[in-house]
Chains A and B, each alone.
Chain A
Amino acid sequence: MAKLEQNSVSQKQIDTAFKEFKSIVGDQWASSLHEDKESYNDPYNPGQEFEFVSGGFVAPESVPEVQEIVRVANRLGIPLWPLSTGKNLAYGGAAPRVPGTVMLDLKRMNRILEVDEELAYAVVEPGVSFFDLHQYFKDNNLKLWMSVPGPGWGSIVGNGLERGAGYGYYSDHFASSRGLEVVLPNGELLRTGMGALPGSNAWHLFNYGYGPHVEGIFTQSNYGIVTRMGRDLLPEPEFYMSCEINCPRESDLEAVVTALRPFKIDETIRNSLTIMNLELIASFMSVRSQWYDGNGPIPEEILKVMQEKLNLGRWNAAFALYGSEIKVGDAWNRIQNAVKHISGVELHARTYQPGDEILHPRDQSQAGIPSLSEFSLVNWRGAGGHIDFSPIGPLRGKDAKIMNDLVRSLNYEYGFDHLGGFYCDARSFRCINTLVFRKDDPEEMAKVRKLFSRLVSEFAKLGYGEYRTHLAYMDQVASTFNYNDNAMLRFQDLLKSAIDPKGIIAPGKSGVWGNKDMGGVQ
């Protein structure tokens, strides 16, 4: 059976549902008016503006309200798409996979439930943004740093559930989250890990609980609605150094990845080591027309001008060192020695101690100060749309080169600039490539669609799969994880059928639909 591409619920059911939703949350917090439907779109969709338009919204402000809404939806067969702050930008924003799905907007659930300075963690609801938590630290003079992603207006919970990365000490945001509260598709409330023990003293402190570990199944998934999450924080370090290593040539990528890998593996570099290309960093601080206004990718001679004027390398590694001054100084010395063989390499370091003002955007983000500075990339070509292609690779120079060469050549083939970078964990990296396009140019968007689809398939052939993707590619990406006749997808669909037999929660999220009647593979 074809996938449920359009919500097929009758108007009568929808009217009944909204009447009941309003009785739960109040008239102003549920609506199926046209303007409200359109307010949950993907502003950067490479295609029609309202291709993934919602069927209206309901916005609870408490867990019992979420439970009631889910029970109503289950009874009436109304699909719900939960969103925290709706800033999953480049991957679909606030929009649902299936047009007509009712948005379960959790932005009003914006309580900071707990901040513990002694054990350095926070517990928040889905509507709390990185900006919100940072403001709370400032207001209460708390010496705690969180890891923040590029744009700071996203949800701490939502970004964690999408398994996003940030720039701080605990840069893998789901790995540094623990203790979830989840409303299941039948309306029941579940607490994970140690939280399953009533009165637990370590709900948000210990990675596991007892028996099978289930937290991961609520990430990038449609098995439940997460209403609470704990997140690790870093006590303000006594010394902080922000480091940059700029390599002058395109061909330096392999060498810099190889040289820095040991420092990621032994955790000398604990935060996310990023290695970004010239074009990506240029897009954070300028627009393309300042450099070049022609069609096709920016020519090599212009890239050289950009490199010189912006005082950047073709590849630019950035990371932070935290701790005592002695520890940081020793680490920086060892790292400098490891990269000095790269001809023409430039090294920069800025140091901070408690009380120092931090102004540089990169240094802010590594110190847990959220901003929107990287968001400039959407304007690179004007009328900005963007979508991210984000495959995972081993933290080896040769893999970085293979992946970069392929994505760059395909971008060039379709006439686009290549804005890319590597976000390195200890043994792997996220190879993030931002396809920036003009939203007012249908031909260009059609090219993006073709290019993206080709990237997914070409990379899969080489054994590189995406860690996260846009709504339009969820099925395609899921289909590449097809070992043993789609064993993974069949298992995920089986779980969906068991947990959510009516397919109420986020149908189609990550390519998971449920049983065959709902469009699943099994």
Chain B
Amino acid sequence: MIKTCGFLVSLAAGTLSAGIATANDAAVEGKLTFDRWCQGCHADSHFAPGTIYLRSVREPEFAVIENNQNLSRELVAEVVRRGRGGMPSFRRTEISKQELEALIDYLTRWSEVEEQGSK
């Protein structure tokens, strides 16, 4: 028998993210947030609702948001907190301010790469 008591979901996720973040950068925590909250709808899959919809209205390179190199920080923050189209909004109790910042870092990581490349 396995019997477990007192497991705290957010603490476990936090421990995991902290462990990886020290070895990498803040965007890694953003990837964890993405996997937990966004991937279900925005994965590169024929069963992901957000991707199916974006494929129907945008060019292919914009449909999988994890690979979209044109997302701005403002747009990600706005869509997460206010929702858009069929996507509902996400509250502070779901995605904290810190997690949202990390998510934005992750989804806009391309701009950093671009800046480094141009130096």
Contacts and interface: CB of A to CB of B under 8 A. Distances in A.
Nearest to A385: B86
Interface stretch (B1-9, B19-27, B105-113): B1-9
B9 A287 contact: no
A352 B1 CA distance: 25
Nearest to A287: B56
A285 B57 CA distance: 15
Nearest to A139: B12
Nearest to A364: B47
A132 interface: yes
Nearest to A118: B1
Contacts of A139: 12
B88 A93 contact: yes
Interface in B31-89: 36, 40-41, 46-49, 52-53, 56-57, 81-83, 85-89
Nearest to A40: B91
Contacts of B48: 372-373
B81 to A, nearest CB: 7
A131 B85 CA distance: 23
B93 interface: yes
Nearest to B37: A153
Contacts of A41: 89
B31 to A, nearest CB: 16
A383 B85 contact: yes
B57 A382 contact: yes
B119 interface: no
B1 A111 contact: no
Nearest to A110: B9
B89 A289 contact: no
A11 interface: no
A480 interface: no
Contacts, number: 117
A105 B47 contact: no
A115 interface: yes
Contacts of A368: none
A113 B5 contact: yes
B10 interface: yes
B58 to A, nearest CB: 12
Contact of B92 (A36, A110, A114): A36
Query: Looking at chain A, what size class is its interface with the partner chain?
Result: 35 or more
A289 to B, nearest CB: 6
Given A378-B86, A384-B85, A287 B10 contact: no
Contact of A378 (B49, B56, B81, B91): B49
A191 interface: no
A470 to B, nearest CB: 15
Contacts of B2: 115-117, 140, 142
Nearest to B40: A372
Contacts of A117: 1-3
Contact of A105 (B40, B53, B81, B93): B93
Interface string A41-72: 10110000000000001010000000000000
B81 A111 contact: no
A107 interface: yes
Given A40-B91, A285-B47, A286-B52, A379 B86 contact: yes
A290 B56 CA distance: 8
A372 B10 contact: no
Nearest to B10: A110
Contacts of A28: 92
Nearest to B55: A287
Contacts of B86: 375, 378-379, 383-384
A344 B6 CA distance: 54
A115 B88 contact: no
A43 B3 contact: no
B9 A112 contact: yes
A371 B47 contact: yes
Given A112-B7, A113-B5, A39 B41 contact: no
Interface of A: 28-29, 35-36, 38-41, 43-44, 57, 59, 85-87, 89, 93-94, 105, 107-108, 110-118, 127-128, 131-132, 136, 139-140, 142, 152-153, 285-287, 289-290, 361, 371-373, 375-376, 378-379, 382-384, 439
8 contacts: A111-B8, A285-B52, A287-B56, A289-B56, A379-B85, A382-B85, A384-B86, A439-B85
Closest 8 CB pairs of A and B: A384-B86, A378-B86, A372-B40, A376-B49, A118-B1, A379-B53, A107-B93, A43-B88
Given A39-B89, A94-B91, A382-B85, 20 more contacts: A39-B92, A43-B83, A43-B87, A43-B89, A107-B91, A112-B4, A112-B9, A113-B6, A114-B4, A118-B3, A142-B2, A285-B46, A287-B52, A289-B56, A372-B49, A379-B49, A379-B56, A383-B85, A384-B85, A384-B86
